[in-house]
Structure 1
Amino acid sequence: MEKFGIMRKIAIASLLCIGLQNIFAQENFTKRDSLHGGLRFERTSYDVLHYDLNIKVNPDERFISGYNEIAFKAVEETNKIQVDLFENMKIDSIIFNSKKLPYKREFDAVFISFENPVLKNSQQKIRVYYSGNPIVAKRAPWDGGFVFSKDQNGKPWIGVAVQGTGASLWYPVKDSQSDEPDNGATIKIAVPNGLMDVSNGRFIGSQDLKNGYTRWDWEVKNPINNYDITANIGDYAHIHDHYKGLDLDYYVLSYNEEIAKKHFEEVKPMMDCFQSKFGNYPFPEDGYKLVETPYLGMEHQSAVAYGNNFKQGYKGSDLSGTGNGLLFDFITIHESGHEWFGNSITSKDVADMWIHESFTCYSETVFLECQFGIEKAMAYVNGLKKNVQNDKPVIGKYGVNNEGSGDMYYKGALMLNTIRSIINEDTKFWKVLLDYSNHFRHQIIETKDAVDFFNAETGMYLTPVFNQYLRYKNIPILQLRKNKKAVEYRWVTDEPDFEMPVEITANHKNFRLNASNKWQSTKFTVKNIKDVTVAQNRFYVEVQKL
């Protein structure tokens, strides 16, 4: 294996981060943003243990009512905690030890006061009763909210997707990715008789409430991030399968049962591929489900939302423009990839959502490689370049619920493919990726955790590479020029002291150059600098020939 560069002092990276934060500080964020995205004492003083959500959904009135019981452990002694619920939703009461608690609301934050301090390490429960008409999404899943629609038979068909907008849009919750309920969640949703609710985890029973509604009960054993908790309501048919020790369940509209049985056979080779590359399915206790939804899709843990109408590609088209994107159902593969990246490994702050989306976008390439070979896979990932905007940094502003650039998808995948080429040894790359997934299984991490892991496992100092692709809008520029005796080369980057190898072809031979920000010379020359080609299919870089 060819190594490059030398280890730099961590202080350099720290100073860089401070500078970037000052740049971001010039953006305009509101008090509401900081209340949603920040980690003040009222949030960090307690650790959520379990959610017990019990609500009724009235499709005609688009109205929900019920409660969420939050079990938690006090990390520090406190007499006040923050829970979140969108301000358009009414809080009916908050009950603690059979007594009502006082609270104050500020935007979507609910500050709950206790009569006596909650002692450190004590375990408690509060029950928040609430009701209201949740926000209806205009274009789910790109904006958050409920989707109230009808199926082809005129029956209600309802879904909810709130990633980015916030789970507190529809239920009281500690609305931060920094804390998942350690002991999972119970989700009980009552819907009109004749309909079914499908939520996360295992089905544990239904109950006719004798009031025109039936309650459907689901239980999640594993930790789950709050935007993954979901409700899917419709006239569903249930398809059950079992594959290599894993339960596979599909819930589709009743008239789509036969087409779904055939179409979802793709899940089996997907599971073979992803488990070989990323480790065992992260939530076997909760099973794996695909649930047909009236919106395109979302990575709801153990209840993946599927709305691609049983088509190949992305709504029948190919995001890469190569034709290879039509070899698989984009929603099945991408959203299921999130079970490993986003659901099992979750970013502490939404500013680091590349931890979810970059790896998951690359999982599409991984699946293609497993099924159809490396040539089609590499053509696909390079075809995604046309979708990259390079408009702003991939990493957003911390503490204000800011996701950063949508380039976290395609640019992030191309960055990982570049790192694969930097490592230059596929056996090692796949081991690093597998070990990364297993090491951080069921954990909440930050960018530094991911970068430090790749540095340690590769024996390379990849921090400048991650920084350039994630913290700046520009990609590295490789400048080439010719002098009388050699070809000269260097990187032009925003990141200081940048080093990264790159491969070129000259005089019908391949060369690997360990380039830096300083001009260096090769031991060969060429007749014309235009005769030098750069392996841009393996390294996502810009090339300037001077």
Structure 2
Amino acid sequence: MRAITFQLFLFLLTSNLLTFGQEANPYKCSHSTHLFEKTGSTDNLRSDTIDILNYDITLDFANVGSQEIAGICHIKFRSLQNNVSTLSLDLLQLTIDSITQGGQILTYHYNDTLIVANLASALNIGDVDSVTVFYHGQPQGDPSGWGGFYFQGNYSYNLGVGFEADPHNYGRVWHPCFDNFVERATYDITLLTPSNLRGYANGLITSEIDHGSYYERSWSLNQSIPTYLACVAVGQYTHVEQNYLSPITSNSTPMYLIAEPADTTGFKSSFVNLEGAMNGFEQQYGPYLWDKVGFHLVPFTSGAMEHATSIAYPKVAANGSLSNETLMAHELSHHWWGNLVTCRTDGDMWINEGFASYSEKIFLEHVYSYDRYLTDVKANHKDVLLNAHVRDGGYFAISGVPHSITYGDHSYNKGADIAHNLRTYMGDSAFFNGLQSFLADHAFEDVDAYDFRDHLNANSPIDVTDFFEDWVFNAGFPGFVIDSSLLIQNGNNYDVAIYVHQKLRGTNHYYANVPMEITFVSDGWEDTTFSFVCDGEFTTAQFTVPFLPVMSYLNGNDRLSMAVTAENQVVNGTNTQDLSYAMFRYIPSNAPDSSFVRIEHYWVAPDGFQEPENEFAYYISEERFWKVDGIWADGFHATGRVYFTGKPGVSTELDPVLASKPGFHEDSLVLLYRENASSLWHPVENISIQTLGSATDGRAYISFDTLKKGEYTFGWRKSPVSTGKIQNKKINVFPNPVKNWLSIEMEQPFSNHTSLAVYNSSGQLMLTTKYWANQIDVSQLSSGVYFLKIIDHGLETNSITFLKE
């Protein structure tokens, strides 16, 4: 399933912010996120007692104008324990007329949620029996607006899950059932409709009769499914039947495009790549094991639902264009991920939805190209870094997500990100072979992340234990940066030692055994790429390069989605370069020849200040930095621009920590630069700050006149002095050196908001006061150099050095 929003936008927005801010995506999930506890395993317990074998349902839509249904549900089941005397069934707010077993009327209790029927006689292990429930009423929709039963014009249909429902399974709104993730059964469904309407359901048509005043059509699904994948749809429907001939099995599978007659032409045009999607998924995941492929159009504009063999699909997405074909691919792929193999609990919804979202990229790769695949992977990854923790309310592991975000960004979008990374860890052959064997061995079963991990370990040459521990069972992302390198000539070759630092975003867990690529480039743009493994916070690796390398970079092919978004460019003119993925702008003013430019945007904290003076004078970003590198032609010159986004109340901003500092003012922003990790940060001179709104709303950009190779990040001047230098001339301390009491003289008056702080030479806070004082007792300090700081209204305005004897 995928939730989407179709809407038109009218807006006026600074084009620069549009380039570097949140990217509009009208097909993103938009979910209600109320707080619930994670559910699933408790709801599954009934399936240890009873195994439902088949639901045989007749639904009468004679009162469709009153939004009512009348049903007869014949439930066949097997006892898994001895002395089973009751049968519990979920049914939501419908009226029960009677319950029978073998023609005998049963007593029961019903509280509008759960039926407990007293069986005619106790059952023992292996006994097979059935009950029949007669019922009617108005089936419910989910309070969120997503899921349940809908009556819209001539359409009546269900969506099998409810975003706010607990549990999310929503078969219970239209038939009595075991409404959980693990109970699977076959379905036989007969739909009685007014003569102008036709009913569609799971599986294949087994009979249809025109009774004149009403129409009867029966369907049968031979594959077992959980209740949330069962469906009915009634409308002024017809269907276009196509056939898919599998190159793998040579089987012919009917494909139904179900719509009102006026919509079939656009439907077919939007689905011209349906056969290509089938072919791509069979090639990568294994044979299609269902009776038919089916999509039925519904007037629902907020998403689609992967009911087995009859997917509920929004009419607005089948308008004749191909703009929504990844939605088609997503829903189809559920017939491997989410229908064939299903998650055991809602906490592992990434197995269903993450792989369906990743299948959109597999579809683009198969039908178009690997470049299209990678473009979609990168767009999704940037959105995850920018928005997943915001929309879902925090950084989460994709396995074990809370119930409130079952259908959130972590399950869908980060799940797709992690699937891309698993492909890189394993390599294409082991990855796709592993997926095929997993799907084959667990077909029509429920699974969890541990089943997935253990299967891949047992059935592939790659040990994925560390991968699952790092990427599946832990939150956040790692970011890897080359701190330094050592180059030694070795004959015609060069031995290079690389020192890599792993930094973290949204986690304190360092990732182990991460397969990494490093690319070396010569002055003549010759390049070579090596694979190695990053393990823990610091990694050292050795390489022998057949030329003199003048630059190196990691993950140049974007084979890993991590906390770095980088772009390579060849520049041979003076056009403005807006790098949306790297979130950086530069404008060449002189480009006499082609230059190779690489910009890396790190979504992690930069190294801090090494010298106390700068630490006392500036705050440094805790959230991101850039690295600029390349092979530039002689005379290449460019100006640069970076955008500061820390607007209060806007959750997707990238710089909220700096913007939240007491007394923040954009006029005090600085752009900090250092040549490499062994250099010191210092403010870039000749910058221009352009506010975008007020001077305190956290929206601005900084332009600078010379782009240099090295690292850049934002800083904020703690002192209001425009030069950025500490006003030591206004403070005096004595005696200096001092043994016991240090006296302080200041030229300016003080208020109740003024206090003192003493730091040692390593920047560690040693003493502090909550008030202004003319003296401070330093007798307990060890001998050495210290810094006294004056803090006024939360801002560090002055600093001076003293020596403790």
**TM-score tier after normalising by the smaller chain length:** 0.7 to 0.9
The answer for unaligned runs of 5 or more in structure 2 is 1-33, 162-167, 246-251, 488-496, 522-526, 565-603, 608-805
Q: Which amino acid aligns with 1:459?
A: P
Matched with 1:523 is: 542
Structure-2 residue corresponding to 1:384: 380
Distance 1:312 1:499 in 2: 47
Query: Aligned to 2:65, what secondary structure does the other structure show?
Result: coil
In the alignment, which residue of structure 2 is the partner of 1:122?
Answer: 127
Question: Is 2:499 the partner of 1:488?
Answer: yes
Q: For 1:377, what is the secondary structure of its paired residue?
A: helix
Alignment partner of 1:290 out of 264, 270, 295: 295
CA distance in 2, matches of 1:484, 1:305: 59
Q: 60, 79, 83: which one pairs with 2:89? A: 83
Aligned to 2:334: 338
Runs of 4+ in 1 over 6 A off after TM superposition: 524-530
Matching residue of 2:592:
none
1:299 equivalent to 2:306? Answer yes
CA distance in 2, matches of 1:430, 1:380: 19
Q: Which residue is equivalent to 1:455?
A: 457
Q: Distance in 2 between matches of 1:397 and 1:417?
A: 20
Are 2:546 and 1:541 equivalent residues in the alignment? no
Structure 1, gaps ≥5 residues long? 1-26, 151-155, 317-325
Which residue does the alignment assign to 1:503?
517
Distance in 1 between the 2:338 and 2:356 partners?
Answer: 8
- 2:220 is matched with 219
Q: Is the 8 A contact 1:37 1:401 kept in 2?
A: no
Q: Which residue of 2 aligns with 1:204?
A: 206
Q: 1:28 deviation in Å?
A: 6.8
1:459 match: secondary structure: coil
The letter for the 2-side match of 1:456 is A
**Pair 1:408 & 2:411 matched:** yes
Alignment-derived partner of residue 269 in structure 1: 276
SS of the residue corresponding to residue 537 of structure 1 reads coil
Match of 1:366 in 2: 362
Residue 115 of structure 1 deviates from its aligned partner by 4.9
Query: Judging changes above 3 Å, is the alpha-carbon distance between structure 1 residues 247 and 40 closer, same or farther for their aligned structure 2 residues?
Result: closer
- Equivalent residue for 1:185? 187
Superposition deviation, residue 506 in structure 1: 4.4
2:94 and 2:112 in contact (8 A); partners too: no
Aligned partner of 1:357 in structure 2 is 353
Residue 536 of structure 1, CA deviation: 7.1
* 1:304-333 CA distance string (max 9 Å, x none): 2222535589xx7xxxxxxxxx66612321
- Distance in 1 of aligned mates of 2:417 and 2:169: 27
Q: Structure 1: which amino acid aligns with 2:256?
A: D
Please list the CA deviations of residues 153-201 of structure 1 after superposition, one character each: whole Å capped at 9, or x if unmatched: xxx12221022352112211100111101xx110112222210011111
- Cα shift at 1:404: 6.5
* Pair 419,330 (structure 1): closer, same or farther in 2 beyond 3 Å: same
CA distance in 2, matches of 1:255, 1:271: 26
SS in 1 for 2:271: helix
1:92 partnered with 2:92 = no
- Whether the 8 Å contact between 1:397 and 1:404 is mirrored in structure 2 is no
TM-score normalised by length of structure 1: 0.81
Query: Separation in 1 of the partners of 2:113 and 2:557?
Result: 46
Q: Which amino acid aligns with 2:561?
A: Y
CA deviation profile, 1:44-75 (whole Å, cap 9, x unmatched): 20111100111213321111121211100101
Relative contact order higher in (CA < 8 Å, ≥ 6 apart): 1
Match of 1:158 in 2: 156
Query: Identity across aligned pairs (percent)?
Result: 22
- Write the deviation string for residues 456-497 of structure 1: whole angstroms up to 9, x where unpaired: 233333233223333333123335423778532354555577
Partner of 1:24: none
| From 512, 524, 537, the counterpart of 2:531 | 512
Task: Write out per-residue CA displacement over residues 256-306 of structure 1, whole angstroms, 9 at most, x where no aligned residue.
Answer: 2333344433222222222222211111xx222121112242111111222
Distance in 2 between residues matched to 1:328 and 1:405, nearest whole Å: 20
Contact 1:467 1:495 in 2 (8 A): no
Aligned to 1:177, the other structure's residue is in SS state coil
- 2:642 counterpart residue number: none
Aligned to 1:44: 48
More strand by share: 2
Cα offset for 1:227? Answer: 1.0
Match of 1:478 among 473, 477, 480: 480
Contact in 2 for aligned 1:67/1:130 (Cα 8 Å): yes
Q: CA deviation at 1:528?
A: 13
| Aligned 8 A contact 1:203 1:219 in 2 | yes
SS of the equivalent of 2:400 reads coil
Q: Work out whether residues 266 and 318 of structure 2, in 8 Å CA contact, stay in contact via their aligned partners in 1.
A: no
Q: Which has the higher helix share?
A: 1
Whole-Å separation in 1 of the counterparts to 2:512 and 2:277: 37
Task: Give the match's secondary structure for 2:437.
Answer: helix
Counterpart of 2:512 in structure 1: which amino acid? F
- Say if 1:273 and 1:92 are closer, same or farther in 2 by CA, change over 3 A: same
Q: Give, in whole Å, the separation in 2 of the partners of 1:29 and 1:259.
A: 41
Cα separation, 2, equivalents of 1:215 and 1:427: 49
Return the match for 2:435 from 433, 438, 453.
433
Match of 1:468?
Answer: 470
Contact 1:482 1:529 in 2 (8 A): no
Q: Which string of whole-angstrom CA distances, capped at 9 and with x for unpartnered residues, describes residues 334-372 of structure 1? A: 111111111111122222111111221111111111111
Q: Distance between the aligned counterparts of 2:148 and 2:217, measured in 1?
A: 21
CA 1:528–1:133: 2 relative to 1, 3 Å = farther
Q: What secondary structure sits across from 1:217 in the alignment?
A: strand
